[in-house]
């Protein structure tokens, strides 16, 4: 490997190191605080479900009870033990957020801003401080978005298989992963991502997601579609009292008001900016899910995973960094990754001139 190639690799590793630092902050924060409150009722319920392992339950999917079973078997059932895996999920969300920002062309400052936006968001602070279903949703939604960006950016269509695998496991965590799928279908029908509808790997990924989710579907069919009945009753009761205004205003509070300019700028990037045109599909995922949840009068936090993937946040971080002019490669929403590589090469040549390379 040439000296220049090694130096480029070092620059990129430095960016990953920065994300690891923010992930460590998120992890330590949860490890310090996650035993200050007692067991949440959901955690006790999932521990009880873990004593009766199955492929389905009346009011939730089976993944979290499986995780509760693993956590109890390996670590015990103390609060720190039960909440260790959620803390890891929180750290993983931070890293994933930064990686997607980098794929969209953001430099180190913008990646750091994206990671920080996840750390301070109240909805993630709560969700990943205990073991329950929302803990893992950002990983599945964000993971799918990250892979889709790489598919579009590098034409690596085989990655649709991994999208399907993640979506399938996401469905085993919560059926609302289907909303992501509906949004993806809407986004693919619209240009410029329409070409993927004829790609065999897309359909193979969809088949894989179905196969992973199939055990739960079989359980539902043999138990009278109990979860559908439960969801219908929930919608008539608790969720019917949530107005559209309350739902929309709640997004500002749940994500933190300081994050609003970031995710609003990111949404603009995906839906309107020319630089975001290749990734319009992700903007349509957000819009579709938002509309579906508004129609269903869902709980406010149901939209939270759509901010972590980061179709709505990280590109906005890049744009904010670019406007500030403080990010070395921080083109964010208005430059491509190719531009970032050009900047890296430029600085490497400067280092050589100074005898540092």
Q: Check residue 122 and give its pLDDT.
A: 96
Could you report the per-residue pLDDT of 62-85, keeping only the tens digit for each? 999 999 999 999 999 899 999 999
Q: Report residue 290's pLDDT band, with 50, 70 and 90 as the boundaries.
A: very high
Is-contact 40 134, C-beta < 8 A?
Answer: no
Q: What is the pTM of this model?
A: 0.85
Is-contact 139 96, C-beta < 8 A?
Answer: yes
Lowest model confidence (mean pLDDT) among 66-75, 93-102, 216-225, 227-236: 227-236
Phi/psi region, residue 18 (left: phi>0; alpha: psi -120 to 50; beta: rest), is: alpha
Note the helical H segments in the chain.
Answer: 3-33, 41-50, 63-75, 79-82, 84-103, 108-120, 122-127, 137-154, 160-173, 177-189, 200-222, 226-236, 244-255, 260-271, 280-296, 305-308, 314-324, 337-353
∠ CA 32-109-121 to the nearest 5 degrees?
40
Q: Answer yes or no: is pLDDT of 352 > 60.
A: no
Which structural domain range is residue 331 located in? 3-353
Q: Answer yes or no: is pLDDT of 340 > 70.
A: no
Q: Report residue 346's pLDDT band, with 50, 70 and 90 as the boundaries.
A: very low
Output the CA–CA distances (angstroms, integers) from residue 71 to 16, 25, 43, 75, in the order listed: 28, 22, 12, 5
Q: Check residue 260 and give its pLDDT.
A: 92
- Total number of domains in the chain: 1
Q: Report residue 127's pLDDT band, with 50, 70 and 90 as the boundaries.
A: very high
The count of residues in the chain is: 357
Could you report the per-residue pLDDT of 298-335, keeping only the tens digit for each? 899 999 999 975 544 444 565 554 444 433 333 333 33
**Mean pLDDT, residues 147-169:** 97
Q: Check residue 287 and give its pLDDT.
A: 95
Q: Report residue 236's pLDDT band, with 50, 70 and 90 as the boundaries.
A: confident
Q: Check residue 317 and give its pLDDT.
A: 62
Q: Check residue 296 and give its pLDDT.
A: 87
């Amino acid at each position: 490997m040439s000296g220049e190639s090694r130096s480029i690799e070092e620059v990129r590793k430095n960016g990953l190191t920065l994300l690891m630092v923010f992930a460590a902050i998120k992890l330590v924060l949860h490890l310090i605080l996650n035993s200050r409150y007692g067991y949440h009722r959901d955690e006790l319920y999932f521990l009880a479900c873990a004593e009766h392992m199955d492929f389905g339950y009346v009011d939730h999917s089976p993944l979290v009870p499986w995780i509760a079973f693993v956590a109890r078997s390996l670590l015990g059932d103390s609060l720190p033990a039960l909440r260790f895996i959620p803390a890891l999920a929180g750290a993983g969300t931070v890293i994933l957020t930064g990686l997607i920002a980098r794929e969209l062309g953001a430099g180190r400052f913008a990646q750091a801003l994206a990671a920080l936006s996840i750390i301070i968001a109240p909805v993630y602070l709560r969700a990943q401080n205990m073991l329950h279903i929302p803990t893992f949703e950002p990983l599945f939604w964000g993971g799918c978005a990250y892979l889709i960006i790489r598919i579009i950016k590098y034409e690596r269509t085989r990655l649709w298989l991994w999208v399907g695998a993640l979506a399938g496991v996401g469905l085993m965590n919560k059926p609302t992963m289907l909303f992501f799928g509906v949004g993806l279908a809407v986004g693919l029908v619209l240009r410029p991502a329409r070409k993927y509808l004829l790609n065999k790997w897309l359909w193979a990924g969809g088949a894989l997601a179905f196969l992973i989710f199939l055990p739960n579907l079989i359980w539902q069919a043999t138990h009278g579609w109990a979860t559908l009945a439960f969801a219908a009753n929930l919608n008539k009761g608790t969720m019917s009292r949530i107005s559209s205004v309350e739902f929309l205003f709640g997004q500002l509070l749940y994500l933190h008001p300081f994050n609003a300019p970031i995710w609003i700028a990111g949404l603009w990037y995906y839906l309107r900016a020319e630089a975001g045109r290749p990734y319009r599909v992700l903007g349509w995922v957000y819009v579709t899910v938002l509309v579906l949840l508004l129609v269903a009068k869902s709980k406010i936090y149901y939209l939270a995973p759509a901010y972590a993937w980061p179709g709505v946040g990280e590109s906005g971080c890049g744009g904010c960094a670019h406007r500030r002019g403080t990010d070395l490669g921080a083109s964010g929403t208005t430059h491509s990754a190719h531009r970032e590589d050009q900047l890296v090469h430029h600085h490497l040549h400067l280092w050589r001139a100074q005898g540092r390379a």
